Amino acid sequence: MPHQKLPKPDNRQNNVERLHDMIENTESKLQEAEISLEFVSPEEREMLQSKNERRQQSIQAMKQEMQEEIDARKNREI
């Protein structure tokens, strides 16, 4: 009988740090894309600008989630 994969337990202990790293990584990619805008074709520029808009939205969502995790730590929910 094959082994069943069990879901990993919800471990939120490092969520703030993980989210912080993800935010920094996304901001870095956003900045790199901004720099490259002057060297790409108009089609690529439009694609990068659209992608950067989505990155900005992701950054805001991750910052909000990180604040919620910080608040949860303060309230000893984690």
Express each pLDDT in 24-59 by its tens digit.
Answer: 999 999 999 999 999 999 999 999 999 999 999 999
Task: Judge whether 78 and 19 are in contact, CB under 8 Å.
Answer: no
What is the model's pTM? Answer: 0.80
Structural tokens at position 25: 């990584």
Q: What is the pLDDT confidence band of residue 2, given thresholds at 50, 70 and 90?
A: low
Nearest CA to 78 among 7, 19, 23, 14? 14
Share of the chain above pLDDT 90, in %: 76
Mean of the per-residue pLDDT values for the chain? 92
Place of tokens 């992608």: 51
DSSP summary character for residue 47: H
E-only strand ranges, the chain: none
